[in-house]
Amino acid sequence: MAIEKQPSCEDDEEPALLPVDVALQRLASMVLPLSQTETETVGIREALDRVLSSDVLSPIDVPSYTNSAMDGYALNSRDLPAAGEVTLAVLGTAWAGRPLEVTVARGEAVRIMTGGMMPPGTDTVVIQEHVQALYDTANENLQGNSEVTHIIADGTTAPGRNVRQAGEDIKAGEKVIATGTQLTPAHIGLLASLGVDQVQVYRCLKVAFFSTGDELRALETHAGQALGPGELFDSNRHTLFAMLKRLGVTLIDIGVVADTKEATRQAFIDASSQADVVISSGGVSAGQADFVSATLAELGKVTFWKLAMRPGRPLAYGKVGDAHFFGLPGNPVAVMVTFYEFVQPSIKRLMGCTETAPAQFTARCESRLKKSPGRIEYQRGIVSAAADGEVTVRVTGKQGAGRLTSMAMANCLIVIPAENAGVEPGDPVTVHPFHGLM
């Protein structure tokens, strides 16, 4: 008698598996941004990593006054000769922050420093290296320096050169940062440069998370103690904590939950009453001790997905009351992969971000990667620049779904499409870096 085999995660082609892009599309239609009323006003230093809930319009012109881009002499371009040289009288010096209160007439010029305000009557700066300066040697100061009284210039400087016009970078009233932007250090500096000290942002998202599994020992109670047979330290909750912290959400740690129906139920009620998003790890496969999906079906609306991906085939998504729920697999690497690919974009979308897809680029793969067609694969990689300047990526050794070391060495995921049948050294591959650039 032959054994009748059931579909399993060992299969590459399993008819019921849901392609990752389809799952992402379904998620995007169910996970909607916070409403425009759920906002607060914060100081710009508190606004780092927060998401703008209204456009920032510039209250001023930038630069706010027409100024010199170089050290030199401000003059009227009509004084510059088509051929030969001209001698101009120098009226004084315009420093940055100390304008010279004069109107420059024909035949006159003003010495000007970078950032100095252009005096009325001038439109061009001739850099100091391009003039011959004449000094008032009869009136030396104590340091033995004397004032420039005249300059001799030629016609080689084009009219308007070396001048930054008021409003050249930004016009007053112009949109500078759009709603839905997650603010980076450059945005904080930009806001300050406009004199803006407060902005409107969406409120912080509250995310609750817990681990499931009778085999797990929590660090809070078991750190430094010997593990009993069949026991292991709970790592997923700490990985989740760290990944969520990077997203700038408010964290609610529910702890380790035992593999019983009652404990799982209680954890869901506890988490969903406090949070916008609930994340669990473990207990979502079809095992006897897997209570997450069953509990969810009882308490809320759950979709249990078998994804065409490796690692991380089982994933549950649903709603418990108003809270969005993500049931991640138990395997530590699968937790990280499903978090980066599914949970992170969803949380960003809920936070009001308009940019939610993971950053991605193409790199030249230096490793040979074994793969059979059927499921999209996320291998752990290290991207770096090769000697020729090209971006290359190599795999971080053995790729077992439980090996957190392969993840800890990595700085990106190498994403290999479902239909791909293996990567040869030199092939271009798609890479998702773990962190953004800023």
Q: Count residues binding ligand AMP (CB under 6 A).
A: 18
Residues numbered 329 to 358 that lie near ligand AMP (CB under 6 A) are: 329-332
Select from 114, 128, 285, 354 the one that contacts ligand AMP (CB under 6 A).
285
User: Does 211 participate in binding ligand AMP (rule CB under 6 A)?
Assistant: yes
215 binds, among ligand AMP, Mg ion, none (CB under 5 to 8 A by kind): ligand AMP
In the bound complex, which residue of the shown chain has the CB atom lying closest to ligand AMP? Answer: 330
d(CA 132, CA 353): 56
Q: Which tokens go with 63?
A: 């630069």
Choice from 119, 213, 314, 352 touching Mg ion (CB under 5 A): 213
Length of the chain: 438
Convert 213-239 to b/e letters by CB count within 10 Å (16 or more is b).
bebbbeeeebeeeeeeeeeeebebbeb
Please report whether residue 329 would count as binding Mg ion according to CB under 5 A. Answer: no
Give the range of 151-159, 243-251, 280-288, 390-398 binding ligand AMP by CB under 6 A: 280-288
Tell me the helices (H) and strands (E) count for the chain, helix number first: 9, 26
CB nearer ligand AMP, residue 237 or residue 319: 237
HSE-CB at 186 with a 13 A cutoff on CA atoms is 6
* Binds ligand AMP by CB under 6 A, chosen from 180, 213, 300, 311: 213
Q: Which does 311 bind (CB under 5 to 8 A by kind): Mg ion, ligand AMP, none?
A: none
Binds 236: which of ligand AMP, Mg ion, none (CB < 5-8 Å by kind): ligand AMP
Counting contacts by CB under 5 A, is residue 282 touching Mg ion? yes
Residue 395, H or E segment: strand 391-395
Nearest approach, Cβ of residue 283 and ligand AMP (Å): 5
Q: Using CB under 5 A, which residues numbered 58 to 87 contact Mg ion?
A: none
Return the one option of Mg ion, ligand AMP, none that residue 399 interacts with (CB less than 5 to 8 A, by type): none
Q: Find the helix packing angle between 292-299 and 261-274, rounded to 10°.
A: 60
The answer to whether 147 and 136 have CB atoms below 8 angstroms apart is yes
Give CA–CA dist 199/201, Å, rounded. Answer: 6
Q: Which of ligand AMP, Mg ion, none lies near 235, with the C-beta cut-off 5 to 8 A by kind?
A: ligand AMP
Q: Which one of 64-72, 130-138, 182-190, 207-215 is the stretch in contact with ligand AMP (CB under 6 A)?
A: 207-215
Written as one string, the DSSP assignment of 29-88 is HH--PPPTTSEEEEETTTTTT-BBSSPEEPSS-BSSS-EESSSEEEE-GGGS-SSSEEEE
For residue 234, the partner it binds in Mg ion, ligand AMP, none, with Cβ less than 5 to 8 A by kind, is ligand AMP
> Residue 211 binds what, of ligand AMP, Mg ion, none (CB under 5 to 8 Å, by partner type)?
ligand AMP
Cis peptide bond prior to 63, omega within 30° of 0 = yes
Minimum gap (Å) between residue 392 Cβ and Mg ion? 38
Q: Which two tokens stand for residue 83?
A: 């051929």
Which of the stretches 30-38, 103-111, 115-123, 206-214 binds Mg ion when contact is defined by CB under 5 A? 206-214
**Rounded distance between C-alpha atoms, residue 74 and residue 90, angstroms:** 9
CA 332 → CA 5, 161, 352, distances in Å?
27, 60, 28
Measured between its terminal Cα atoms, the distance across the chain in Å is 61
Decide if residue 381 touches Mg ion (CB under 5 A): no
* The binder of ligand AMP chosen from 119, 180, 282, 345 (CB under 6 A): 282
116 touches Mg ion by CB under 5 A: no
Contacts of Mg ion in 21-50 (CB under 5 A)? none
Among 54, 149, 235, 354, binds ligand AMP (CB under 6 A): 235
Residues 66-105 that bind ligand AMP (CB under 6 A): none
Candidate ranges 213-221, 247-255, 265-273, 360-368; the one touching Mg ion (CB under 5 A): 213-221
Name the binder of 276 from Mg ion, ligand AMP, none, CB < 5-8 A by kind.
Answer: none
Minimum distance, C-beta of residue 400 to ligand AMP, in the bound complex (Å): 11
Decide: 329 and 311 in contact? Cβ < 8 Å. yes
Count Cβ atoms within 10 A of the Cβ of residue 248 and give its class: 0-12 exposed, 13-18 middle, 19 or more buried.
middle
**Positive or negative torsion for Cα 14, 15, 17, 23:** positive
- CB 136: neighbour CB atoms within 10 A? 12
264 near ligand AMP, rule: CB under 6 A: no
- Using CB under 5 A as the criterion, which residues of the chain lie in contact with Mg ion when the complex forms? 213, 282-283, 330
- Using CB under 6 A as the criterion, which residues of the chain lie in contact with ligand AMP when the complex forms? 211, 213, 215-216, 232, 234-237, 281-283, 285, 287, 329-332
